[in-house]
Structure formats: C-alpha cells, structure tokens
Amino acid sequence: MRAPANILNLLLLSLLAGLDPSKTQISPKEGWQVYSSAQDPDGRCICTVVAPEQNLCSRDAKSRQLRQLLEKVQNMSQSIEVLNLRTQRDFQYVLKMETQMKGLKAKFRQIEDDRKTLMTKHFQELKEKMDELLPLIPVLEQYKTDAKLITQFKEEIRNLSTVLTGIQEEIGAYDYEELHQRVLSLETRLRDCMKKLTCGKLMKITGPITVKISGTRFGAWMTDPLASEKNNRVWYMDSYTNNKIVREYKSIADFVSGAESRTYNLPFKWAGTNHVVYNGSLYFNKYQSNIIIKYSFDSGRVLAQRSLEYAGFHNVYPYTWGGFSDIDLMADEIGLWAVYATNQNAGNIVISQLNQDTLEVLKSWSTGYPKRSAGESFMICGTLYVTNSHLTGAKVYYSYSTKTSTYEYTDIPFHNQYFHISMLDYNARDRALYAWNNGHQVLFNVTLFHVIKTEDDT
C-alpha cells in the first residue's frame, strides 16, 4: 500500500551509513557535507553525511529538543552538499541499504530508550511523520535528481542552518512549529522530485505485503491511479463470474476494517478478474462477450461500451488459471490498455491502447506469446510484462515494448506466497502491483531502472 516517506528517515539512514575517512577528511566546522557510494546489487541509494558542530545549551528541555532538530538539519544540509557534487554522473546504484535500514531500527530503539530526556510530544510528531512518508525512501535510495534541483535543496538547508544558529544564540527566536513547517516544505520539494522519476524498466519485484484476507479464491481489488493524493478509495470485486456487486471503501484502513462507504450494483455481470478503475470510472469485460464497459462511479451509469474486435472470450483464450480471464484491462503511466488474444494472431497476445472515453482502439501490437501460456500480465510505461504461471515458482518471463515493438525474455522472480494468483495489476500512482493471491489481497513493490540526465548531459 502506499505510505509516504519522510526526509528525516533519509537523513538518519545517511548518518548510520558512516564515512570513509581514507578518502576525504571534513572538519565538522566546515559546513554541510554528503558522501554517496557507488551501487549495491539491488540498485539502492546510500548517502553518508557529516554535520558541523553546534554548541546548543542543554540546560532545559527546549534546548535538548532544539539540539536534536539542529543535528537533523545539519545532516540534511551536508547530504545535499556532497550529493550536489556526486550527481554530475548518470544514474548510479549505491551499496548496503539493507544494513542501513537495520541500523535505522537500532537507532530508533536507542532513541526510545533515551526518550525520558527528550520532549516526548515533539519526538512523537517527528516519528509519526517519518512513518507516514516511508514510500519515498525507495525513490530516494535508488535515484538522484539533476544538479539544479540539488542546488535549490542546498540553499533551503542553508536557510534552516542560519535559523538554528540564531536559535543557538537566542533560545526561543523560532518555535518548533516553524521549524517543522520548513521540514514539510522540503518534503514537498522531494515529492516534486519523485514525479520526475516516472517511467523505467522493471528490474525487481519484492514482497508481498498482505493487506487483508477476504473473499473467495478469485477476485480483484484496486485503487484509481489518477486519483488525487487525498483520494484513497478502494474498490473490491469478489469472484470472476456471476456477480454485479462492487464494494467501495474510503481508504485502505477502512478496507482492512471492513467499513464499506458505498455499494454499486452494476447493470451487467462481469467476466474474469481483470478490471481496472481509471479516472473515476470502472472498466470491465461484460460476461459472455468481448464487450468492454465503462461505468461511472459518480453518476452510477454506463458511459460507453464497445466490442473488442476479434477478441476471444468465455475461456477461449484465458490465462493459465482460466476463470474467463480472456480480456485483461489495465492502466499505466501512458493510458488505458486491453490485453487479449485472437484467432487472427493464432491465439497469441494482442496489446491494444484504448481511448478512455470512447473505448476505441487507438493502436494494436501483435506479440508471439501464447495467451494460454501466460499466468498474468501487467503494463508499466508502455511495456507489457507477462508471467509464466499463476502458481508457486511464477516469474516475469516475457516483456514486449510498445515503444520499440520489440520483445525479450526475462527472469524476474517474485514470491507467490499463497500459491495461486488470479489478478496482478500495476498502479502507476502507488508504483506497486495489486494482487489477489488465493483469497489474500496483497501488494508487491517494484524496482524500476531510470536514466536521469543532469545539466552536464545537455
């Protein structure tokens, strides 16, 4: 599920990474400095920092709290300074992120042990904010932004450093809330940075995270990849046939607790589990047909329907598990897609990009991969990824790029924890795979390879 990350998480990770004194010696009084290593096998980013010395008064609780803030902001400033130097190259992976995460947990345990010496309220607020922003950590681990953006971050950190230095001289000049707002401002900037890292090539699938156990062996659950950040509605469709009921939940938390906000009775039964919610509407395959339906949740009526020409249906060309999974509707960063097979293409997979309003086929690509040999499939950045099974041992075995009209065989394993997958769809907003795994609603995290150009590349 999507859960946001906090800048302070990254800073604490950086502090725990450690420096290599044999390469560079930096006096803590010289200012903000950051070091980053090269790559680790999993392609995650590791940053290391040194903070300048600050002599804050520790005579009262407020001094101790401000000292903790100063250390965090100092670390942030140094991270940005050297990261600015290191981002002159193309994208690099960096070493030892798992070790850093373990170190971070140990650091939090140490802080918990010493919490009697801290201002409990403010420490808890910062910790909760870190927990809320965790999904940003993978992005900041794996990717670096361009030199111009780093320079802006560095200037913001210097401003915060100036403020804290003033507080050192005169306690009480700025209160905790003002400093907290500045941290939130940097969080917003990093979110903007993440938006630049949109498309990439699938490198790894990790997880799953089990969100809930409910329903039958087959079904679908999803969120809208085009919804706003505050709109986290979840839709739930149990079974692959003989059903017209869609259940809506206002959030993941409500979904887990079973607190429904609304129920929709569709005008037609659906076929399969390969539905998608996109820009406020549900797209599904009408039972015993190759007709695609667009149903608006807001108006509660059908906005469009169209036959997918030559597409097999009703278990003519299903996935390996059957279940009327002939037509798979999906969405990615580019738009709305249909994946199916035809007699004209000898039962092999056909990819069609659809107009989201009229359901008209905009363009189609014929692949050479048999639909009946595919366990499931999903689109990321215009590339179709196909699994070789729905059972234990399944992996992403084949990919087809609509950008280059070329294919390749891949070997990307993932953990089929509950042995039977009947739905696997990518959500571009969450950058995660939603899956229905034998009556378990689970999430897989994906690692994408990005190439980021800096100013020196132009």
Tokens representing 46 are 């590791």
Report pLDDT for 26. 40
Query: CA gyration radius for the chain?
Result: 25
| Shared domain check, 324 and 260 | yes
Per-residue model confidence as pLDDT tens digits over 205-259: 999 999 999 999 999 999 999 999 889 999 999 999 999 999 999 999 999 999 9
Task: Please provide the distance, in angstroms rounded to a whole number, between the alpha carbons at the two ends of the chain.
Answer: 37
pLDDT of residue 120: 63
Q: Which pLDDT belongs to residue 118?
A: 54
Residues 165 and 202 in one domain: no
The pLDDT assigned to 235 comes to 98
User: Are the C-beta atoms of 414 and 428 separated by less than 8 Å?
Assistant: no
Confidence of residue 69 (pLDDT cuts 50, 70, 90): confident
Same domain (yes/no): 226, 373 = yes
Query: How far, rounded to the nearest angstrom, does the alpha carbon of residue 202 sit from its chain's CA centroid?
Result: 13
Weakest mean pLDDT among 30-39, 272-281, 329-338, 340-349: 30-39
What is the tally of structural domains in the chain? 2
Question: Residue 39 domain-assigned?
Answer: no
Residue 281 has pLDDT above 90, yes or no: yes
> Are 138 and 228 part of one and the same domain?
no
Q: Are 278 and 224 in contact (CB under 8 A)?
A: yes
Give 160-204 pLDDT, tens digit per residue.
Answer: 777 766 666 655 444 556 666 766 776 676 666 655 566 889 999
Query: Is 181 contained in some domain?
Result: no
Give tens-digit pLDDT for 416-448: 999 999 999 999 999 999 999 999 999 999 999
Of residues 263, 265, 249, the one with CA closest to residue 212: 249
Same domain, 79 and 212: no
pLDDT on residue 79: 63
CATH number, domain with residue 334: 2.40.128.630
**pLDDT at position 126 over 90:** no
Domain that holds residue 147: 66-113+122-171
Would residue 374 count as lying in a domain? yes
Query: What is the structure's pLDDT at 135?
Result: 57
**Is there a single domain that holds both residue 144 and residue 210?**
no
Contact 314, 288 (CB under 8 A): yes
Whether residue 210 sits in one domain with residue 156: no
Nearest to 439 by CA among 155, 181, 135, 210: 210
Q: Is residue 341 domain-resident? A: yes
Same domain, 236 and 139: no
Residue 5: inside a domain? no
In whole angstroms, what is the distance from residue 255 CA to residue 443 CA?
A: 14
Kindly state whether residues 300 and 408 are assigned to the same domain. yes
Q: Are residues 249 and 362 in the same domain?
A: yes
Is 325 within the bounds of a domain?
yes
Mean pLDDT, rounded, for 305-332? 97
Residue 382 has pLDDT above 90, yes or no: yes
pLDDT tens across 326-376, in order? 999 999 999 999 999 999 999 999 999 999 999 999 999 999 999 999 999
Q: What is the mean pLDDT of residues 365-392?
A: 97
Contact 356, 328 (CB under 8 A): no
265 shares a domain with 145? no
d(CA 232, CA 226): 10
Characterize the bridge pairing of strands 276-278 and 262-265: unpaired
Q: Is residue 23 in some structural domain?
A: no
Per the prediction, the chain carries an average pLDDT of 78
In a domain, 291, yes or no: yes
Residues 209 and 330 in one domain: yes
According to DSSP H, which parts of 299-389 are helical? none
